[in-house]
Amino acid sequence: MSTIGVLALQGDVREHAAAVERIGATPSRVRRLAELEAVDALIIPGGESTTIDKLLRAFELFEPLRDRIHAGMPVMGSCAGMIMLATDIVGAIDGQRSLAAIPMTVRRNAFGRQVDSSEVELAWIPDGSTMHATFIRAPWVESCDPSVEILATATGPDGAAHPVAVRHGNAIATSFHPEIAEPGAVHDDRVHRLLLELV
């Protein structure tokens, strides 16, 4: 059975771990190097990208994580996790770093502030169906290399469609929170299953 780590520094760690269990893998919280080295794949939850960057450095995980991703370890990032996986960040603070796993430019807080959070039905391109998505202070993809596969788009406050889910090699990123479901609703674990398929 595959072990999928959840970076346990900030964000919906418990919800992502529950999704990992639902897809038939073993979840593992990752805070230390030995824990990172023991997993087959990793999820970077949402939160605040500048804080995640600082915590990765404080826990001496930034370089080892970047190296494992660039060596081929499957990785998924949601919301702030998407920002961490981008090569370029619009609205980054001075000194903010990313793991540069996906050749794309993302815009921080593109969908607005916390009060502008929303839930929408997305067209999920891989299977032609829809997906219920929750956006919380979400980024979007401003631009990406042609090698990046766009999995879903959403209309932003500017009236234009922007990529909000992408895949590139061993990396998957979403603007929205795939670990969140409405109370009483069946969880949609397709994004997490895509990660498991890469293991």
Q: What is the 3-state secondary structure (H, E, C) of the chain?
A: CCEEEEECCCCCHHHHHHHHHHCCCEEEEECCHHHHHCCCEEEECCCCHHHHHHHHHHCCCHHHHHHHHHCCCCEEEECHHHHHHEEEEECCCCCCCCCCCEEEEEECCCCCCHHHCEEEEEEECCCCEEEEEEECCCCEEEEECCCCEEEEEEECCCCCEEEEEEEECCEEEECCCCCCCCCCCCCCCHHHHHHHHHC
Indicate if 197 belongs to the active site. no
- Is the pLDDT confidence value at 112 over 80? no
Write the burial class of residue 63 (CB in 10 Å: 0-12 exposed, 13-18 middle, 19+ buried): exposed
**Quick one: pLDDT at residue 64?**
98
How large a percentage of the chain has pLDDT more than 70?
96
* Contact predicate 19/192, CB 8 Å: yes
CA 172 to chain centre: 7
Any binding-site annotation on 112?
no
**Quick one: pLDDT at residue 185?**
73
- Is the pLDDT confidence value at 4 over 60? yes
- Is the pLDDT confidence value at 199 over 60? yes
**Quick one: pLDDT at residue 116?**
53
The domains found in the chain, sorted by start residue, are 3-198 (3.40.50.880)
Q: Across residues 11-23, what is the average pLDDT?
A: 96
Indicate if 79 belongs to the active site. yes
- Write down the catalytic residue from 16, 162, 177, 192: 177
- Is the pLDDT confidence value at 115 over 60? no
The β-bridge partners of 16 are none
- Is the pLDDT confidence value at 19 over 50? yes
Q: Residue 113 — very low, low, confident or very high, per pLDDT cuts 50/70/90? A: low
Distance between CA atoms of 82 and 151, rounded to whole angstroms?
A: 13
Q: Across residues 105-109, what is the average pLDDT?
A: 94
**Quick one: pLDDT at residue 114?**
54
- Write down the catalytic residue from 15, 16, 79, 192: 79
- For the ranges 48-62, 118-132, 135-149, which has the lowest average pLDDT? 118-132
Each residue's pLDDT tens digit, 50-104: 999 999 999 999 999 999 999 999 999 999 999 999 999 999 999 999 999 999 9
Indicate if 177 belongs to the active site. yes
Q: Across residues 160-188, what is the average pLDDT?
A: 91
